[in-house]
Structure 1
Amino acid sequence: MSISKLSIVVPCFNEESNIQELFKELIDVINVLTFSSEVIFVDDGSKDNTFSEIEKISLENKFVSGISLSRNFGHQIALLAGLEKSTGDVVITMDGDLQHPPNIIPELIKKYEDGYDIVNTRRIDPESISFFKKKTSTLFYTIINKLSDIKVEPFSADFRLMSRETVNAFLSIKEHDRFTRGLVSWIGFNQGVVEYKANSRFSGKSSYTFKKMIKLAINGITTMSSKPLRISLYLGLIFFITGIIYAAFILYNYFTGVNVEGWTSILITILVLGGIQLLILSIIGEYVSRIFNETKSRPLYLIKKKTGTNN
């Protein structure tokens, strides 16, 4: 499959010290391509001078444009904003911290030319990645693939190539709570995988805190599956049946004159049942909050500023 124009979408949050180095590496790749390219930077409400750096690059390079969102809407929404702005018949999305190496781009293009509509990437973590992060990442993909009706590529990232047809299909999904990896799997098409060795951040600290990773995990599971609600039903049934059996046991002992000493067992039962009820209510609450978000019909993002001749 031939390519006439490539779009590269880069969401950024507080990447002031990384933008210039990333662009240098992108230029090295773009200069050897035989078709035109555009680079779209999306500043997701950065608190530093990220957008100023984007403006400098766009003034010197006509194929570079940038948009600055009015606040931090989150990585998944910033990705969406860049995809909506892209005009290429092939689009590559990647992060702005150089952990997604630009020199892998030719491999993604080669895979596309081999007939794949979407080319995902599978991350091989560097030695510096902590044991805890590796294990929690493995656990996340295990859980989401057990609960979801679709398969999410393990150790994947939002570093991928998509054809214009698949980008349009992705953009037709108007959900507010978005889990891009899951949605890309859900739309189907012919998908391939390229492995890459993740680099360490060029500079700065990751904005993906443990709290944000937990939020992403919960969002991914509840967005792509209703099975947690079904599990809540099963838990309710199990404890309801257990309660009936226990009640029958107490009544039997009462009528046969056996004294049942049960302060400890009663307390444990109350604590366990109370915990299960709170867990089930929390799961239901997550789904209700998603319904609430969808019914508000607010725009997914707002643009504060633009730069580049393509805007």
Structure 2
Amino acid sequence: MASPKLSVIIPVHNESANIAPLCERLLPVLNRITSMWEVIFVDDGSRDDTLERIRAVSRTEPRIGAVSFSRNFGKETAIAAGLDHARGEAVVIMDADLQHPPEMIETFVERWKEGYDMVYGQRTDRSDETRVKRGFAHLFYRLFARFGEIELPPGAGDFRLIDRKGVEVLRALGEKARFSKGLYAWIGFKDTGVPFVVEERRFGTTKWSFRKLFRFAFDGIAAFSTAPLRVWTYLGFVISFMSIATAIYFMVRTLLFGTDLPGFPSLIVSVMFFSGIQLMSLGIIGEYVGRIFAEVKRRPLYVVAERIGGAAEVSTSLVSDDFRYRRA
């Protein structure tokens, strides 16, 4: 197949009901832009018939392909796999639930032709989220702006277009704990945002629980900052200063007024407080050590079980042939 002008990467996990509605809206948009396009679904270990529905669509439209993982590796890894297999001069990343309107791709391409290497969708409204979720999102972006190495554009997510040179840089980043939003900003290049309104999810439910979002936020801060480690250094200095000041206070008090009977409650509270501080600091250190451990093992980022359509012709994956399993 000739190299396409535009590639669209769509990570999917148990999204069988959304495949047909997405293609009905996406394909007319792509045909208006260019006839040389490809769509690559990355099946992240779906347990429903998502892959079968993609296979059925691929039979009628050969420009639609898929990469299927051997198990669930996570959305960030699915995006990396899509970038490995995309061949277009520009690559669009979007979700399958139609919350990212396919019609926006035309605007992305227009901005790309104007000379921008990265065009990202900028969310303008969060009224569909709970107040708690909006509050935590605001807190995360403030913490990342304060302690992170880079600045994240407000409201920017994975819905974006990336020029081929940016794709090649992202492919060269083989780190295991991936925070794609940070990687997009880290590679630089000329970028611009396009405001859009997130549509309602048509079918299925979100895969992002509060626990997963919290973990994802921590991974993002840990991947682009050593501030969580430095915090315990500063806290250690503060506690040491307070202990010296307290020792001087009791020494002066003893010299002037004599000694009194020490209380067990204050002793127990102090022991529990400092034990908690120590355990939290060890936990933070353990998180960073765990990331080092994951990197030095040099396991493949993902394992491909099957390729469908145009994706089957691509042999540039980061996974070696020894880790691939292909069905007949």
TM-score interval w.r.t. the shorter chain?
Answer: over 0.9
Which stretches of structure 1, 4 residues or more, deviate above 4 A after TM superposition?
Answer: none
- What secondary structure sits across from 2:121 in the alignment? strand
The answer as to whether partners of 1:112 and 1:118 remain within 8 angstroms in 2 is yes
The answer as to whether partners of 2:67 and 2:311 remain within 8 angstroms in 1 is no
- What secondary structure sits across from 1:65 in the alignment? strand
State the Cα distance separating 1:306 from its structure 2 match: 1.3
* Aligned position for 1:226: 226
- What secondary structure sits across from 1:10 in the alignment? strand
State the Cα distance separating 1:253 from its structure 2 match: 2.3
CA–CA distance in structure 1, aligned partners of residues 275 and 213 of structure 2: 28
* Aligned position for 1:185: 185
Asked if 1:44 corresponds to 2:44, the answer is yes
TM-score in terms of structure 1 length: 0.95
Matches for 1:1-311 after TM superposition, within 5 Å: 5-125=5-125, 127-256=127-256, 257-259=258-260, 261-311=262-312
State the Cα distance separating 1:232 from its structure 2 match: 1.3
- Which stretch has the larger CA shift, 66-75 or 125-134? 125-134
CA–CA distance in structure 2, aligned partners of residues 21 and 92 of structure 1: 18
- Which stretch has the larger CA shift, 32-41 or 175-184? 32-41
Q: Give CA deviations for 1:56-100 in whole Å, capped at 9, x if unaligned.
A: 111110111101100000000000001100000100001111111
The answer as to whether partners of 2:4 and 2:38 remain within 8 angstroms in 1 is no
Change in Cα spacing, 1:4 to 1:310, as seen in structure 2 (3 Å) is closer
Letter in 2 for 1:107: T
State the Cα distance separating 1:120 from its structure 2 match: 1.6
State the Cα distance separating 1:126 from its structure 2 match: 5.5
State the Cα distance separating 1:267 from its structure 2 match: 2.8
* Aligned position for 2:318: none
The answer as to whether partners of 2:54 and 2:66 remain within 8 angstroms in 1 is yes
Change in Cα spacing, 1:44 to 1:153, as seen in structure 2 (3 Å) is same
State the Cα distance separating 1:252 from its structure 2 match: 2.4
TM-score in terms of structure 2 length: 0.90
What stretches of structure 1 of length at least 5 have no aligned partner?
A: none
Change in Cα spacing, 1:126 to 1:234, as seen in structure 2 (3 Å) is closer
CA–CA distance in structure 2, aligned partners of residues 230 and 247 of structure 1: 26
CA–CA distance in structure 1, aligned partners of residues 125 and 64 of structure 2: 30
Q: Give CA deviations for 1:276-299 in whole Å, capped at 9, x if unaligned.
A: 212211111110110010011000
Change in Cα spacing, 1:263 to 1:249, as seen in structure 2 (3 Å) is farther
* Aligned position for 2:319: none
RMSD: 1.6
Count of residues in correspondence between the two structures: 309
CA–CA distance in structure 2, aligned partners of residues 137 and 59 of structure 1: 41
The answer as to whether partners of 2:6 and 2:38 remain within 8 angstroms in 1 is yes
Change in Cα spacing, 1:262 to 1:244, as seen in structure 2 (3 Å) is farther
The answer as to whether partners of 1:11 and 1:43 remain within 8 angstroms in 2 is yes
What stretches of structure 2 of length at least 5 have no aligned partner?
A: 313-328
- What secondary structure sits across from 1:88 in the alignment? coil
- What secondary structure sits across from 1:273 in the alignment? helix
Letter in 2 for 1:280: S
- What secondary structure sits across from 1:143 in the alignment? helix
Letter in 1 for 2:200: S
* Aligned position for 2:320: none
CA–CA distance in structure 1, aligned partners of residues 301 and 215 of structure 2: 18
The answer as to whether partners of 1:138 and 1:155 remain within 8 angstroms in 2 is no
CA–CA distance in structure 2, aligned partners of residues 4 and 16 of structure 1: 26
Q: Give CA deviations for 1:170-223 in whole Å, capped at 9, x if unaligned.
A: 111110000000011111111111111001111111011111101101110101
